Amino acid sequence: MHQPVNTRRRQVVTAAALSLAAPLLARAQSTPKIRIGYWPVAAGLPFFAAIEKGYFKEAGLDVEPLKFAGAQQVMEAMLAGRSDGSSNGTGSGNLGVGELASPGLFKIIATNPSNAKYVLDEFLVPKDSPVKSIAELKGKRVASGPGIQNKTLAMVVLERAGATGATVMELPIGQHVAALAAGQVDAVYTLEPTGTIGRLNGTTRMIEAGVIAKYILGDALAPWHGGSATLTTEFIKKNPADAKKYIAAYARGIELVRTKPDEARQYLKGYTAIEGPLTGEVPLGSYMLYNEFKPADIAAFQKFFDLFTEKGVFEKKLDVASMLYKG
């Protein structure tokens, strides 16, 4: 019994479609979606630029940026298997907490060291505040960003600067300028682009930048590796070739920020609270790839982590060198 012509034609068309789709399906299966968590701070710029310039796509990768309210949520998503890594700007201390919860959780592919020259961390007060130094914040209300890293660092800096009796409360970073303007807090320990936003809209004034390098590391120009870009060890093991491609494309984002900062700045738009021409005003951070670390850099990073052990944030000492991606 013969099949109707229409039926045979449909089978031929279907077979042809399947044969065309096969390589596409194979390609889709061999290129997993890479989910990367970030929070809206200026330090994430290499990641934002790599997405917007198409560096990941050119490498044949499907990268999905996941925005979170704080670094702690980025780390929690990695722990839960909902994210495959973090962008620069994700608190290294928060990531350390994740490492303790699940040893070997991730590898650091790049950090964003900041200090008095490469500004990320800063203390701000309302523009008309009489406060001129951190020491004058004795007994005052200070906000920090959310998460254990921000709060711990704010408290230690205040203590070491002589601002005894100050209280620290956690507040989403996007609310810092408004909280100062409304008089809800007397000062904030925050991260760029907050200081730039407050300065440009005439509501806040910076009293000191690079405070972690100065008060925690003991040298205003020491590299504070406060944020880290990572990939989970599980992703690296399952997709070694894609991991290498991802890191190479990410490195292109870092290179763009280093060599063409004015071109890179525009990519703060849409990922941070900075829009339009204001992107030209934000101080840009420094970046260090896993293969650029020298012993002195590892020592500075270790000193930062040792503070968290000393303060009981980490239940035991973490070895920074073992957490760096080895290539």
Domains of the chain: 32-113+225-323 (3.40.190.10), 121-215 (3.40.190.10)
* Biggest distance spanned by C-alpha atoms of the chain: 96
Say if strands 187-191 and 228-232 run parallel, antiparallel, or are unpaired: unpaired
With contact defined as beta carbons under 8 Å apart, do 162 and 215 qualify?
A: no
Question: For every one of its 327 residues, what pLDDT tens digit does the chain have, with 9 covering 90 and above?
Answer: 445 545 444 444 444 444 444 444 444 456 789 999 998 899 999 999 999 999 999 999 999 999 998 899 999 999 999 999 999 999 999 999 999 999 999 999 999 999 999 999 999 999 999 999 999 999 999 999 998 999 999 999 999 999 999 999 999 999 999 999 999 999 999 999 999 999 999 999 999 999 999 999 999 999 999 999 999 999 999 999 999 999 999 999 999 999 999 999 999 999 998 888 888 998 888 999 999 999 999 999 999 999 999 999 999 999 999 999 998
HEC string for the chain: CCCCHHHHHHHHHHHHHHHHHHHHHHHHHHCCEEEEEECCCHHHHHHHHHHHCCHHHHCCCEEEEEECCCHHHHHHHHHCCCCCEECCCCEHHHHHHHHHHCCCCEEEEEECCECCCCCCEEEEEECCCCCCCHHHHCCCEEEECCCHHHHHHHHHHHHHCCCCCCEEEECCHHHHHHHHHCCCCCEEEEECCHHHHHHHCCCEEEEEECHHHHHCCCCCCCCECCEEEEEEHHHHHHCHHHHHHHHHHHHHHHHHHHHCHHHHHHHHECCECCCHHHHHHCCCCCCEEHHHCCHHHHHHHHHHHHHHHHCCCCCCCCCHHHHECCC
Q: How far apart are CA 144 and CA 120, in angstroms?
A: 14
Instruction: Give φ, ψ of 262 to 5 degrees.
Output: -65, -35
Q: Is 41 within 8 Å of 119 (Cβ atoms)?
A: no
What's the rounded Cα separation, in Å, for the pair 90 and 29?
29
- Phi and psi at 88, nearest 5°, equal -55, 150
pLDDT score recorded for residue 25: 43
**What's the confidence (pLDDT) of residue 30?**
62
Cα–Cα distance between 168 and 191 in angstroms, integer? 16
- Cβ atoms of residues 75 and 97 within 8 Å: yes
pTM given for the model: 0.85
For 144, the enclosing helix (H) or strand (E) is strand 141-144
Residue whose pair of structure tokens reads 């040893």 in the numeric block:
103
Q: What angle do CA 95, 147, 199 make, to 5 degrees?
A: 110
Handedness of CA 88, 94, 97, 102 (dihedral sign): negative
Sign of the C-alpha dihedral computed for residues 128, 134, 138 and 140 taken in this order: positive
Return the pLDDT at 273. 86
